[in-house]
Structure 1
Amino acid sequence: MAFLSKDPGIAAENPLFCSILANTMLSVVPGISGAGPTPEKTLLTPVLDAELIAKGAITSVPARPDTPTGCPTPASITRSIMELCGTRALFINAGLSHLPTVPCMDVYGEAGNDPRFMDAVPRAEALFQSGESLGEFLSRMCDLLIVGECVPGGTTTALCVLRALGYPARVSSSFIENPVKMKEEVWNAVAGRIRAEGVESPMDILRC
């Protein structure tokens, strides 16, 4: 089929899809994220997307799995792929604002702060070490580990991390019209903090 990528030739017998769920306070900044009907409700999106992927429907709250433009959430596509492949997802709570409604592994993180004003992930090193341990464990449970994420505000977060690491990155958006100007304003504020604090190491960049 023309719209599908070329078959990569990977023949996994025991694949595992792992979805990492988290929040960042960047998503509640008006205009940054379209991953929810309102900025405040983006904090519920990872929980509801996981529910949709795991159960095929959102049942914990009266909500439809749509973006503000009426398009289905990418979680609908993920659910379809899970059904097509005959597998299920493993969810990891990496720092949610709300308790998940489906079973999750937990690395005991906290929702990320707004990096314009304070460290986004104060316990970045501990979470990195937890991720290493969990990755090593999961690699023994499958022969193909597929890692996804649901983090509203995540593309803006990725922009800041990549730029801070020295990459001239640009990122996409959950909005039809990418709010590039707003994202650049966020990055400029974060870059100012990084320069003022003399942050250089990759781990400290992740913390900021």
Structure 2
Amino acid sequence: MLPLTLSDLEGLPLGCSIVGSRCSRQQLQAHLEPWCQRDSSFDLLLLLAATRTAEREGISAAGATAASRRLTALADADLLLQGPGQLRSWSLPPLPAGVSPALLSHVALQPLPMQPVVAALGLEHEATFPHLRLESPQAGPARCLSTGRAMDPERVERLWRQGMRLGAQLRRPLLLAECVPGGTTTAQAVLTALGVPVNGLISGSARQPPQELKRHLVEQGLRRAQLPAWPSPQAVLAAVGDPFQAVAAGVLVSAQQPVLLGGGSQMAAVVALALASLPDQRRKALADRVLLGSTAWLAQERICGSDMPALGCLLDEVGQRFGVSLAGLASGLRFHASRQPALRDYEDGFVKEGVGAGALLLLAQLQGHHSEALLEGCERALDELLASAVASEV
């Protein structure tokens, strides 16, 4: 199949790009259609979750320390819901560079016909803002995947069923987002256990993802788990997964509405889990409902000196493993010309994605909001965020 170009697609905004190479023009056009309709409304579900994997030194840049990463999901959700100029209960953790992607998500969300719903899973601290409670707050984070027993099987089954209930209740297209520090490492473990070749294809929040550390933890966890040759998705989750993945996979399995997945490798792992749970004849129908939405920074990233963008290759590998064509698109927002250094950091490989930023920016563009206006909105929002931080110190 020849690679598609942007001119092959109707309604794709300037600067947006195609992620992956297995979808035909007709398939991608069909994926675009529900998200381009201007008279539609959409649902947004943000899943917050925690895994002790995030507490390994050097594994994640979603917070400069292990202690700060325990608060990242709450702080990001608070910023998405309240905005940068409002009093928030949870302070953003310090980052090595850049600014939380929740700021981008908040800006993109403002003109869209959707209200966010947040679900909290296994967080160290209970959320103080309105949220869905899908399990007891005492459940706590998943264990580090290196143990090979990240979650009890009963918990996995319970969370999967909760996700299926949520998916079955959908009446509008759903944008599914996440915030899970350490989640790209659990994604690598899950994909590896499901037979997807992922070496050199998994990104992370750091400018240079810690490939060797991730690989070591994954190998250790899978060796201790002693999974069979063809493990069930639930067995994989219990061994090396996280709570977000169990709920999100359940949503995909039961949803009959189109789903726009906000993110990269973590969402690829969720798709793989959902596909692995279905018989062959039902997999194409799921793939036809699902579109991956990412930021341009993540979509263009090349890891370990590869000639090809890693995320597109990963999406193709998942599709090939399960005999389907998976579609992905990246938003066109760039920060080369931004007056804000923390936003220009994105162009240097920091942060890249999270909290559904890519999917929300893509949807805003598909709904007719130009990247120039989104850039200006991000700059104003960062001004507010910096001003509020100064005011809180006075």
Could you state the TM-score of these two structures normalised by the residue count of structure 2?
A: 0.48
2:63–2:93 CA contact under 8 A, matched in 1: no
**Residue 121 (structure 1) aligned to one of 151, 174, 182:** 151
| Structure 2 contact 148–223 (Cα < 8 Å) conserved | no
| Residue 68 (1) aligns with residue 96 (2) | yes
Q: How far apart are residue 115 of structure 1 and its match?
A: 1.9
Q: Select the residue among 151, 163, 168 that pairs with 2:180.
A: 151
Partners of 1:64 and 1:42 in 2: CA distance:
10
Structure 2: runs of 5+ lacking an equivalent = 1-12, 19-28, 240-394
Secondary structure at 1:157 match in 2: helix
Other-structure match for 1:204: 235
Considering fraction of residues, name the structure with more helix. 2
The separation in 1 between residues aligned to 2:133 and 2:167, in whole angstroms, is 13
Root mean square deviation of aligned Cα:
2.0
Determine the structure 1 residue equivalent to 2:208. Answer: 177
Of the three residues 70, 75, 79, the one matched with 1:52 is 79
- Equivalent residue in structure 2 for 1:13, among 40, 48, 51: 40
CA displacement at 1:150 relative to structure 2: 0.4
Taking the aligned partners of 2:96 and 2:130, their CA distance within structure 1 comes to 27
Q: Distance in 1 between matches of 2:100 and 2:79?
A: 10
- Number of the residue aligned with 2:354: none
Gaps of 5+ in 1: none
Structure 1 residue 136: Cα displacement = 1.2
CA gap of 1:5–1:84, structure 2 versus 1, over 3 A, is farther
Aligned with residue 189 of structure 2, among 142, 156, 160: 160
The aligned residue for residue 112 of structure 1 is 142
8 A contact 1:21–1:94 mirrored in 2 = yes
Q: 2-side partners of 1:120 and 1:65: how far apart? A: 25
The C-alpha deviation readout for 1:20-76, integer Å capped at 9, x for no partner, is: 000000111010011012122111011011100000036224x3466321x111111
The answer to whether the 8 A contact 2:46-2:119 is kept is yes
Which deviates further from its counterpart, 4-13 or 84-93? 4-13
Q: Between Structure 1 and Structure 2, how many residues are aligned?
A: 202
- Contact kept? 1:17, 1:146, Cα under 8 Å: yes
Match of 1:192 among 211, 217, 223: 223
Q: Distance in 1 between matches of 2:121 and 2:65?
A: 23
Change (3 A) 1:86 1:5: farther
Deviation of 1:14 after TM superposition, in Å, equals: 1.8
Indicate if the aligned counterparts of 1:54 and 1:88 stay in contact, CA closer than 8 A: no
Identical pairs, percent: 29
